[in-house]
Amino acid sequence: MFSMVLFSDDKLTMHLNWFGMGALTIIDAHGRKRRAHPIQKRYLQAVTRELQAIGVKITPDDPVCRHALGEIAHAIYDFPPGGLVWTTALNRSPRETALAFFEEAKQPG
């Protein structure tokens, strides 16, 4: 209820419920759901704040924001919060991650 779509592609849709205070949910093309662990949600919020701080508009129309949200959505859906991918991600600062997404999105192709 009261969900907001943060990211959507042909494979996944990422929703944030209850005006940002509720669950972060990823739904695949077949309707299977995965709810993000609270640490994953907090990390997404921190990376989003850092993207905004470096001048990225937080909207799906912005290619950097879309790239970052897509990468995080797929990581939440595909990998458990205690796994290697998330352990590695959580050992980086949100700023480092935001800058990496910024650079990746600017690469041609």
Task: Write out pLDDT tens, residues 47-88.
Answer: 999 999 999 999 888 999 999 999 999 999 999 999 999 999
The answer to whether 51 and 101 are in contact (CB under 8 A) is yes
- Rg of the chain in Å (alpha carbons): 13
The structural domain count of the chain equals 1
In degrees rounded to 5, what are phi and psi of residue 42? -65, -40
pLDDT at residue 60 in the model: 83
Nearest Cα neighbor of 41 from 60, 54, 22, 28 is 22
Q: How confident is the model at residue 1 (pLDDT cuts 50, 70, 90)?
A: low
pLDDT at residue 107 in the model: 83
For residue 32, give its domain range: 4-106
Q: How confident is the model at residue 105 (pLDDT cuts 50, 70, 90)?
A: confident
Nearest Cα neighbor of 43 from 79, 97, 80 is 97
